[in-house]
Chain A
Amino acid sequence: MSLKTHARSKAIHIMLVYTGGCNGCDIEIVNAVLSPKFDMEQYGVFLTWNPREADILVVTGPVTHDNKEPLIDIYNAIPNPKLVVAAGACAVMGGVYKNCYGDIPSEEIEGPVENVIPVDAKVPGCAVRPQDVLAGVVAALPHLLNAD
């Protein structure tokens, strides 16, 4: 394993962006970091709120119309290599909000996160469990480690 890969696997900074979910996933993810029971830091995963520092963007929520542009801005602010993890049913496939009017497209929901920014890993669940978030981050990790 090269120095680059090893360093990347030892210190991972995640940033959380909430795009209009119901708060359930957001709090479970914050819980995964802040609660001593889950304590993500023991795996070398740190929570940051600065896009310039982040490696992995964790997105929750179905991306409401007003949140589309902020999400794109924050995604662009993260330096490469970067990963996006969509956490929760809403972020993965739109949840209960997608197709809620049948064939009529919804004005409020810009669709799942995939429609706005490229997604590397999807974590299902309503709401996601803290363990699953970590599993999702780990599942996406090879993309990050092998990037240039």
Chain B
Amino acid sequence: MEEKKAKKQEIIETEIQMGTVHPAALEPYRVRFFVEDEIIKDAEITIGVNHRGIERIMEGLPVEKANMLTEKICGICSNAHTWNSVRTAEIGLGVEVPDRAVYIRVIVEELERLQSHLLYLGHGCETLAHETFSMRAFYIRETIMDLLGMIGGNRVQYGCSIIGGVRPRCELDDNRIRKILDGMGLVEKNVAEFADRFVHDSIVLSRITGTGYIPQEQALKLAITGPTLRATGVKRDLRTDMYEYDNFDFDIITQDTGDVKAQLLMRVFEIFESIKIVRQAIRDLPEGKITDRSWEMIDTGLIESYIEIPRGTLYHSYAIEDGRVRHSIVRTPSMTNIGAMQYACIDNHITDGQLCIVQCDPCFTCSDRAIEVYDTKNNKLDKSILQSNIH
């Protein structure tokens, strides 16, 4: 399979800008499509509109406060950010997390994966302009949102981890467990029906087959992560390396083709895997306390933590000094997937352009952190370098 290349500028006819506000995008970013007779020859995504400086705010905050703040990085995978930030501190401080807390964290994270994947299906279908499928996906998602609201107390920002365990609010009693199991049954049934209807719709299939294709070599070269990478046929999932998932039996789903169809089916199959994990976690849920408060705050060096979140690999890193966060760095999956989004658009019709971006599960609100290119010789921000180097 050949890699895709951006066409040189002499031949390209027209530039189309979309954004920063556009119906097909759920967040502000600008995309420039360079089209030739409605076929995209090159695409350029400009982010930075969302830059709020979260890492800078985190600098100097007490660790507990900084953990709560990471929740506000993203409204879709908010729990994943809190979890990874807490996990970073726990690695540095050497905190032993009770088993029950680990299981509850896994349950909440898998529910979040379900929610995120269903949002992906809904958003993808909306970009396909298929309103009915989109509404169906949002309808199925409501079950999960209710469960998350029940556990975390809020529909969106429900992060449950604190250093040493989970919040007391997130304890799972019998009533909650029954509700979660009921919800899982309902979601499984609904998603199975949805997927069955989806793959037998020949019009939808003709729209999504072969659209937004990302070759495997290119995916590896661009270092993209998460389900977007797995849909191109690479079997790589960080959950296999995380100690939290040691006791769980689940499959890593891969697809071969790397087009929108593969990406959508990828999410559908992952939903079933997540339901499997949630059921196992509830079956084996250990007894005991959910929070270990016997840790002490010490100064640490730079701590790093990688976890697998619904959209790819998340990286958090900071050092702790006097109980405060120093030198915080967050790298979200969309940061690396932007390259894939730009290449996926190439050679597609312009109506599919936004679909090709959506298929890589973008979350630019996560990704908008400062990128500054410095001229090391003069030690200043040089715009001419940017202009000459980017393309």
Contacts and interface: CB of A to CB of B under 8 A. Distances in A.
B265 interface: no
Counting chain B residues whose Cβ lies within 8 A of the other chain, the interface size class is: 35 or more
A101 B48 CA distance: 21
Contacts of B49: 20, 64, 66-67
Interface in A47-83: 49, 62, 64-67, 70, 74
A23 interface: yes
B75 A97 contact: no
Contacts of B282: none
B16 interface: no
B132 to A, nearest CB: 10
Nearest to A30: B26
A95 interface: yes
Contacts of B119: 27
Contacts of B363: 23
Contacts of B69: 96
Contacts of A126: 154, 156-157
Nearest to B71: A22
Contacts of B134: 34
Given A28-B156, A67-B28, A108-B53, A127 B75 contact: yes
A19 B154 CA distance: 22
B155 interface: yes
B139 A24 contact: no
Contact of A18 (B27, B51, B78, B155): B27
Interface centre among A22, A96, A100 (most CB of B within 10 A): A22
Q: Which of A17, A24, A67, A109 has the most CB of B within 10 A?
A: A24
Interface in B59-115: 69, 72-76, 78
A107 B368 CA distance: 15
Nearest to B368: A20
Size class of the contact patch on chain A: 35 or more
A102 to B, nearest CB: 11
Contacts of B327: none
B150 interface: no
Interface stretch (B17-25, B214-222, B244-252, B371-379): B17-25
29 contacts: A18-B21, A19-B28, A21-B365, A22-B73, A23-B26, A24-B156, A25-B75, A25-B156, A28-B156, A30-B26, A31-B138, A34-B122, A34-B134, A35-B135, A37-B142, A49-B23, A62-B52, A66-B20, A66-B49, A66-B51, A70-B20, A70-B28, A100-B53, A107-B53, A108-B52, A126-B154, A126-B157, A127-B156, A127-B157
Top 6 A-B residue pairs of the complex, sorted by shortest distance between their CB atoms: A24-B75, A127-B156, A23-B75, A49-B23, A24-B156, A35-B138
Interface of B: 20-23, 26-28, 48-53, 57, 69, 72-76, 78, 119, 122, 126, 131, 134-135, 138-139, 141-142, 154-157, 363, 365, 368
Given A20-B28, A34-B122, A67-B20, 18 more contacts: A20-B365, A21-B75, A25-B156, A35-B135, A36-B139, A49-B23, A65-B51, A66-B49, A96-B57, A96-B72, A97-B57, A101-B57, A107-B53, A108-B51, A108-B52, A126-B154, A127-B155, A127-B156
